[in-house]
Structure 1
Amino acid sequence: MESKASASREIESPCDVLRPSTSNAERTLCVLGLGGGGTSMVAGCLRLAGVSMGERLNEANNEDQEFHDLIQCRPLLDGAGNLLPERLEQFRAFIEYRNERHPVWGWKHPETLRILPQVLDRLRNPHLLYIFRDVHAVAQRNHKRLGLDHPLSLRASLGHLTAMVNAIEQLSAPTLLISYERCLRHPEKFLRLLSSFCGLELTQKDCQDLASFVRPDRVSGEIDAQARARDRAYYKPESD
């Protein structure tokens, strides 16, 4: 019989597969979460593992700058919360271009949930990665960086979490749920689970090497000097 201690260790896994990944090698990886909630860490791990996370990448937060520019362009939505027709076409063109160039690619941006249901049908084999972090830690970050007071930041974070839960319930694509805090406690296990769900080919040595990127207080998503040496080995941007 399994002991209570071993059962507890199993419960503390950094990831849960809510809907299993597919056998199709081609896929699109969407990293979803709050700003300051760990998305840069997940995107950085994917980047280091060789996934194209953007051709014009912001190394401070591992965001695709082209996607960022599209989603920050205003007006974005109509009064009913739907993408304006011209914006919808821009996102579809963005997706089609990436599909043509990369069999596996992805992106992360805190505002992705605003448009994801409307473009999901254009994504090739979408796999959704939701990362959750202590809400107060996110509020502290936004208080210091953006000047928001704590109650306002907490309320905004809770609203975003509600949107994430709604998406988890409504979108039927393969889904991985990730705990930021447990990733920090078990980085190698997180990388093994991430590799399996995303169809990557990370060896045990790869997971050991990349584990240094999964650490607290990285300040930003920038890849540090130790990981950057591996970045040259793992991440190979495609030439024109």
Structure 2
Amino acid sequence: MVAGAIHGLGISMGNDLPDNIEDPDFNFDRAIRSGQTRDDFLEQIKQTVIARTAVGRSRGWKFPRVNAYLQDIIASVRNPHLVMVLRDPVPAGLRAARRIEHDEKHGPAVLKHLNNQLRLTSLNMAMIGALRVPTLIVSYEQAMRAPEAFLSEMAPFLGVELPSDLTPLLEFMTPGSYKAPPA
């Protein structure tokens, strides 16, 4: 939802985006699963960043485990600004556990996912502290409750103007399921 809002505000979040708006070119897990080495992946990302920067538009990407590589490529990113999205870990853990164990709402699966989510948040927070670049920390749940306020806060952070008609963005941000990124 946040990456889609950024995209809808005019900052390209990638090419041929899937509905989750995770640019395949920046998906570390996918690259490793396909047999790419970490070093090759880092070099490919640096080249992608350089090529996309040459186009002259502000660009971004979404990858929840960006801590796996951002410190290694940050020098290639022009004027980096980070948007870190925090989610309430309990409903997120329950959702993740349901995908694995449909009949279990509490227990080991939930605890495992809660611990994983808290570990990921901790790693991302440590990365943000080390990078010392402008960072907007967003509560996903708060953004969902007050989407216009969220957009009004995020647009100036990103250095863009809010569109006069927020309807397409607000419709995209309506909870439910993944949707195609707004134009």
Deviation, 1:209, is 4.8
Deviation of residue 142 (structure 1)? 1.3
Between the aligned partners of 1:215 and 1:63, the Cα distance in structure 2 is 19
Alpha carbons 2:25, 2:45 under 8 Å: kept: no
Distance 1:102 1:140 in 2: 42
Tell me what 2:86 maps to. Answer: 132
The answer on 1:194 being equivalent to 2:148 is no
Kindly indicate whether the alpha-carbon contact (under 8 Å) linking 1:43 and 1:53 is maintained by their aligned counterparts in 2. Answer: yes
User: Which structure 1 segments of 5+ residues have no match?
Assistant: 1-40, 77-82, 236-240
User: Compared with structure 1, are the counterparts of its residues 207 and 179 closer, same or farther at alpha carbon in structure 2 (3 Å cutoff)?
Assistant: same
Name the SS for the 2:148 alignment partner.
helix
Aligned positions, number: 175
- CA shift digits 1:41-74 (9 cap, x unpaired): 011111222221111211x201212222x54222
Aligned partner of 1:119 in structure 2 is 73
Equivalent in the alignment of 1:67: 26
For residue 213 of structure 1, what is the amino acid of its counterpart?
F
Match of 2:165 among 206, 218, 228: 206
Aligned-pair CA distance for 1:100: 1.6
Instruction: State the distance in 2 between where 1:129 and 1:190 align.
Output: 12
- Counterpart of 2:4 in structure 1 is 44
**Displacement of 1:102:** 4.2
2:105 maps to which residue?
none
Structure 1 residue 151 corresponds to structure 2 residue 111? yes
Q: Name the SS of the counterpart of 2:98 in structure 1.
A: helix
In structure 2, runs of 5+ residues without a counterpart are 102-107
What is the aligned-residue RMSD (CA, Å)? 2.2
Residues 24 and 30, structure 2, Cα contact 8 Å, conserved in 1 = no
Q: 1:49 to 1:146 in 2, by over 3 A?
A: farther
Q: Is the 8 A contact 1:191 1:211 kept in 2?
A: no
Q: Which residue does the alignment assign to 1:141?
A: 95
| Cα distance in 1, alignment partners of residues 134 and 48 from structure 2 | 22
Mapped to 1, the partners of 2:45 and 2:131 lie a distance apart of 19
Aligned amino acid, residue 155 of structure 1: N
Q: Is the contact between residue 191 and residue 207 of structure 1 (CA under 8 Å) also seen in structure 2?
A: no
Which structure's residues are more often strand, by fraction?
1
User: Which is richer in helix?
Assistant: 2
Mapped contact 1:62–1:108 kept (Cα < 8 A): yes
Whether the 8 Å CA contact 1:133–1:179 is kept in 2: the answer is yes
**C-alpha distance 214-192 of structure 1, shift in aligned 2 (>3 A):** same
Q: How does 1:74-93 map to 2 (within 5 A)?
A: 74=32, 84-93=38-47
Q: Is structure 2 residue 58 aligned with structure 1 residue 104?
A: yes
